[in-house]
Amino acid sequence: MSLWLERLSREFSEAESSQIQAEIFNLKGLQVELESLSTERLQEGLIRMAPYRLKYSGNLRHGRVETWQQANSYIAEKIQTNQAPTWQDILNLNALLTNQVKSEIRTKPVYLGPFEACPPEELTSSLQYFENHILQNKDQLHPLIATALCQYWLVSLHPFEDGNGRTSVVLSDWLLGLHGYLPMSFDTKIDGLIATLSNDRVSATPGNAVIKLITNVQRSYRLVLNDA
């Protein structure tokens, strides 16, 4: 197993596991509260939540809102028909979000700040592992954990020239929607940063990524409940 696969496959620490279970429990309470809302209050809450769904993207330039809407229409149809995402769907999402006819795997190094993401020579084997062991095996885990790991792996591998973060978030919202959860919301761009990088000091662990995703989902519930 390559160094990158080892880093992405790290086990949760005991502290992370305890916090994950606590946050899942807290989210269940928010779900119960949401179920008690009237249709009118629910609609008002969803409108209140909507602007926070895009804050992870920072500056919404170059038609990003329009491409984001196209990608969300794509996943909405899939959720309605209970279709789980495939690797081809991820390629399609990236193409929609970056306004391309077809998305291609990058062949050059890419950096998140000063730190390199997965090098191109390791991408093919790493993406095969992601597809076979993470994307296709997600039903073996709690849906929140599985969703977070899919997001974490995809954004850490950074397989595309552009739109990796946006693709990973929309993929997560698809997986959340399949299991009846609200999508993620963000206060700032920092709330969406979960990647493992070439420097461990600034890298997220898989456990960090799960906690962050659950926190971002909880934020959506609190916004809808007007309890943010």
Q: Which sequence positions are flagged as catalytic?
A: 158
Alpha helices in the chain (DSSP H): 3-8, 14-35, 39-49, 64-80, 87-97, 120-129, 143-157, 164-178, 206-224
Residues 15-38, buried b or exposed e (16+ Cβ, 10 A)?
A: ebeebbeebbeebeebeeebeeee
Write the DSSP symbol of residue 163: -
Where does residue 173 fall: left (phi above 0), alpha (psi -120 to 50 degrees), or beta otherwise?
Answer: alpha
d(CA 45, CA 34): 10
Residues whose CB falls within 8 Å of the CB of residue 181, separated by 6 or more in sequence, listed in order: 31, 143, 144, 217
Q: Please report the DSSP string for 194-224 in residue order.
A: ----S-GGGPPPHHHHHHHHHHHHHHHHHHH
